[in-house]
């Protein structure tokens, strides 16, 4: 049994940008430092064997559902010239970092033009059911994958999410600020159901049933009641799924149709058959050992190019997980 570190690469790198104050050079250095430090900490804490970096493609979801992530372009268009310049610099160093990881380390690096990192991470977990997995990401979508052999590490907050709960870097339970009690372990099946019903504003996935309540009332079924009835497809399930509503453009929707659309978009095990084949083929193609030597020295050279002395001074420390070959 092996333990894999699965890195949601763009998420980890660009999230770090937003938690660091200072000029652009400081932000760039810290984004790289936080990314490498997250990998090293997960590597040490979970006694890992290999690191897999997963990268973004254009995404098949944009062809399946035209509005998908259309809001992201609107955000970019609203940037000031200074923000655009910073964004360009971040993408430049990110591209160089991707090339470094791919060409100068023994890490597995996966990308396909039609796939998102989420698809590849979920596919890797499914392709290695008897192994352990640690997903490095702040993305809540991975809650659906949490299981005894799969946990998520948030390197920004230094929190690990497991099937038993949320834990800080000392192993103590994370306290929920609202309830003042330990934060409860995620319920993957219900969380996924709720997301498919409510949609995802960050990805511009519309709700299947706008305004739906979590808990029902005397006269109206809520998400909890419908979810509990999902297995038998009884009254509560059908009562919700057969509801119809009209959007602001006068188009009528049936809840079941939009729910099924969102399942395809949001459930990381429910991609269309042709996409599943691409995921499996991509993983099989990349699941082979590399033979790169002197990774620490190569990391020092990479850092010197970008004047990142803090990382260069600890190159051997950060290089340890980058040297490990795919286990055969």
pLDDT tens digits, 255-297 = 999 999 999 999 999 999 999 999 999 999 998 999 999 999 9
How would DSSP label each residue in 274-324?
A: HHHHHHHHHHHHH-S------HHHHHHHHHHHTT-HHHHTTHHHHHHHHHP
| Res. 86 pLDDT band, cuts 50 70 90 | confident
Over 80: is that where the pLDDT of 41 sits?
yes
pLDDT at 307 over 80: no
Predicted confidence band at 326 (pLDDT cuts at 50, 70, 90)? very high
Burial (CB count within 10 angstroms: exposed 0-12, middle 13-18, buried 19+), residue 76: exposed
Statement: residue 16 has pLDDT above 80: no
**Predicted pLDDT at 75:** 80
The residues near 324 (Cβ < 8 Å, ≥ 6 apart) are 48, 49, 50, 51, 106, 107
Same domain, 144 and 253: no
Q: Taking the complete model, does pTM exceed 0.85, yes or no?
A: yes
Mean pLDDT of the chain: 92
Q: Distance between CA 221 and CA 215 in Å, rounded? A: 7
Position 184 confidence tier, pLDDT thresholds 50, 70, 90 = confident
Is residue 80 within 8 Å of 86, Cβ to Cβ?
Answer: no
**CATH number, domain with residue 117:** 3.40.50.1010
For residues 19 and 35, membership in a common domain is answered with yes
Among 266, 288, 313, the domain-final residue is: 266
pLDDT of 319 reads 92
* Phi, psi for residue 241 in degrees, rounded to 5: -70, -25
CB atoms inside a 10 Å sphere around CB 150: 24
Residue 196 lies in a domain: yes
Q: How confident is the model at residue 77 (pLDDT cuts 50, 70, 90)?
A: confident
Q: For 201-250, how does the pLDDT look when each residue is reduced to its tens digit (9 = 90+)?
A: 999 999 999 999 999 888 889 999 999 999 899 999 999 999 999 998 89
144 with 168, same domain: the answer is: yes
Give mean pLDDT, residues 180-206. 93
- Establish if 7 belongs to a structural domain: yes
Residue 70: per-residue pLDDT: 85
Nearest to 277 by CA among 57, 128, 135, 119: 119
249, 266, 283 — which closes off a domain?
Answer: 266
Distance CA 42, CA 77 (A): 36
Which position has the higher pLDDT, 253 or 20?
A: 253
Query: Is pLDDT at 308 greater than 80 in this prediction?
Result: no
Mean pLDDT, residues 135-155: 95
Q: Which of 92, 125, 107 is nearest to 268 (CA)?
A: 125
pLDDT band at 114 (very low <50, low <70, confident <90, very high): very high
Kindly state whether residues 47 and 66 are assigned to the same domain. Answer: yes
Q: Give the per-residue pLDDT at 188.
A: 93
Is residue 161 situated within a structural domain?
yes
Q: Is residue 68 part of a domain?
A: yes
Task: Name the least confident of 62-71, 190-199, 206-215, 309-318.
Answer: 309-318
Q: Is residue 149 domain-shared with residue 194, that is, in the same domain? A: no
Co-location of 237 and 293 in the same domain: no
- Residue 328 domain-assigned? no
* Candidate from 157-161, 165-169, 177-181, 319-323 with smallest mean pLDDT: 177-181
Same domain, 154 and 246: no
CATH number at residue 195: 1.10.150
CB 104 within 8 A of CB 292: yes
CA distance 215 to 196: 16
Determine what percent of the chain is predicted with pLDDT higher than 90.
Answer: 68
Q: Which two tokens stand for residue 125?
A: 């977990």
> Is 36 part of any domain?
yes
- Are 254 and 294 members of one domain? no
Instruction: Give the Cα separation of 284 and 301 in Å (integer).
Output: 31
Torsion sign over Cα 135, 59, 285, 106: negative
Q: In which domain, by residue range, is 32 found?
A: 3-186+271-323
180 and 294 in a single domain? The answer is: yes
Local structure of 52: helix, strand or coil: strand
The answer to whether residues 256 and 275 belong to one domain is no
Q: Do residues 163 and 302 both lie within one domain?
A: yes
> For residue 311, what pLDDT is reported?
80
Number of domains within the chain: 2
Does residue 176 belong to any structural domain of this protein? yes
Alpha-carbon Rg for the chain, nearest whole angstrom, is 21
Q: Are residues 286 and 314 in the same domain?
A: yes
Report the pLDDT value the prediction gives residue 256, as an integer from 0 to 100: 97
249 in any annotated domain:
yes
Describe the chain by its helix, strand, coil percentages, rounded to 5: 50, 15, 40
Higher pLDDT, 140 or 72: 140
Q: How many CB atoms lie within 10 A of CB 63?
A: 10
The arithmetic mean of pLDDT across residues 156-185, rounded, is 91
* pLDDT at residue 195, as a whole number: 96
Q: Sort strands 252-254 and 50-54 into parallel, antiparallel or unpaired.
A: unpaired
């Amino acid at each position: 049994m092996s333990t894999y570190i699965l890195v949601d690469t763009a998420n980890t790198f660009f999230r770090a940008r937003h938690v660091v104050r200072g000029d652009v050079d400081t932000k760039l250095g810290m984004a790289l430092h936080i990314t490498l430090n997250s990998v090293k900490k997960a590597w040490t804490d979970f006694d890992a064997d290999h690191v897999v970096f997963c990268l973004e493609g254009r995404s098949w979801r944009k062809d399946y559902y035209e509005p998908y992530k259309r809001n992201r372009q609107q955000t970019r268009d609203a940037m000031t010239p200074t923000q655009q310049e910073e964004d360009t610099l971040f993408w430049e160093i990110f591209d160089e970092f991707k090339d470094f990881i791919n060409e100068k380390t023994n890490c597995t690096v996966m990308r396909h033009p039609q796939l998102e990192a989420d698809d590849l991470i979920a596919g890797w977990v499914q392709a290695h059911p008897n192994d352990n997995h640690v997903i490095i990401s702040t993305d809540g979508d991975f809650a659906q994958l949490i299981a005894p052999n799969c946990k998520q590490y948030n390197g920004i907050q230094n929190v690990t999410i497991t099937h038993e709960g949320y834990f800080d870097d000392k192993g103590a339970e994370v306290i929920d600020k609202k309830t003042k009690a330990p934060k409860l372990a995620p319920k993957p099946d219900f969380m996924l159901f709720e997301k498919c019903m409510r949609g995802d504003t960050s990805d511009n996935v519309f709700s299947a049933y706008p305004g739906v309540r979590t808990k029902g009332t005397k006269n109206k079924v809520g998400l909890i009641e419908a979810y509990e009835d999902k297995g038998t497809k009884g009254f509560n399930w059908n009562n919700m799924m057969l509801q119809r509503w009209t959007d602001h453009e006068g188009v009528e929707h049936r809840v079941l149709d939009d729910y099924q659309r969102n399942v395809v978009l949001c459930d990381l095990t429910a991609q269309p058959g042709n996409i599943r084949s691409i995921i499996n083929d991509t993983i099989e193609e990349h699941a082979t050992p590399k033979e790169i030597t002197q990774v620490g020295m190569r990391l020092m050279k990479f850092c010197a190019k970008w004047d990142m002395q803090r990382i260069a001074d600890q190159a051997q420390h950060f290089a340890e997980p980058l040297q490990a070959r795919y286990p055969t």
